Structure 1
Amino acid sequence: MTAYAIGHLHPAAHPGEEVLTYIERIQSTMDPFGGRFLVHGTQVEVVEGDWPGALVIIGFPDLAAARGWYESAAYQELLPLRTRNMAGDVVLVEGVGPEYDASATAAAMRAAAPPVIS
């Protein structure tokens, strides 16, 4: 199942040398794990709420590959170049397959909910 590394980052108006080096080198840390940028360096169109910052989405073949990349020595060596210079949140998440049915998820959530007492 495809997995994703998703970052909601808060970059400075002008990236410093460390951030530029991070951006230049990150792809080489993803390649051994089959990672590729799906969203990077593009503007978001906010249609609900507030979205300060930038969005980064990296696709991986599966969650094990995403974890392997994030925990790899190559990425961990590079990571401080970003974290010293921009705040943000990063998550790893497994995607859903083509057979996913949101109504089945709603039914399972409804069945697991405590009974409503009137």
Structure 2
Amino acid sequence: MSAYGVGHLHEVTMGPGIVEYLERIDATLEPFGGKFIVHGAKAEVKEGDFRGDLIVIEFPDLDRAREWYDSAAYQAIIPLRADNSVGDIFLLDGVDGDHVATDVLAT
């Protein structure tokens, strides 16, 4: 089952640090099968108050997502993002293709 690395960045200071982060992140994803599926698109907010940028990276499974995040290559560039942005970063499992909303009631 696919898993996702998600970043909700509320504030980003665009400068050399973020540019370097963007130039280096793709190489960190490749060994773990990670690929961007949402990256900085502006949200069309229908309800609530969403600010910032949303980034979603898909991985083959949660183990691969964890391995990517914990990898030396990614750990080396985290300060480039963290020192130049404010936000939340998390990993989570996706759902199977036959998932329906009521499945969450069984857990």
TM-score, structure 1 normalization: 0.86
Unpaired segments ≥5 residues, structure 2: none
1:97 maps to 96
User: Following TM superposition, by how much is the alpha carbon of 1:102 offset from its aligned partner in structure 2, in angstroms?
Assistant: 1.4
Could you say what secondary structure the match of 1:39 adopts? strand
State how 1:103-118 maps to structure 2 within 5 Å: 103-106=102-105, 108=106
Task: Report Cα offsets for 1:5-47 as digits up to 9, x if no partner.
Answer: 01100233x5010001101110000000000000002111111
Structure 1 gaps of 5+ residues are 110-118
Report the counterpart of residue 50 of structure 2 in structure 1. 51
Structure with bigger gyration radius: 1
Which residue of 1 is the match for residue 70 of structure 2?
A: 71
Alignment of 1:62 onto 2:54: no
More strand by share: 2
Q: Is 1:3 aligned with 2:3? A: yes
**What is aligned with 1:30?**
29
> Residues 79-107 of structure 1: CA distance to partner in whole angstroms, max 9, x if unpaired?
0000001010011000001111212323x
Identity of paired residues, percent?
Answer: 50
Gap change, CA 1:26 and 1:94, over 3 Å in 2: same
In structure 1, C-alpha distance between the alignment counterparts of 2:80 and 2:11, rounded to whole Å: 12
* Structure 1 CA distance for aligned equivalents of residues 103 and 11 of structure 2: 39
* SS of equivalent residue, structure 2 residue 58: strand
Runs of 4 or more, structure 1, over 3 Å off, are none
**1:5 partner SS:** strand
Residue of structure 1 equivalent to 2:16: 17
The one-letter code sitting in structure 2 at the alignment partner of 1:81 is L
Structure showing greater relative contact order (alpha-carbon pairs closer than 8 Å, 6 or more residues apart): 2
RMSD between aligned residues: 1.2
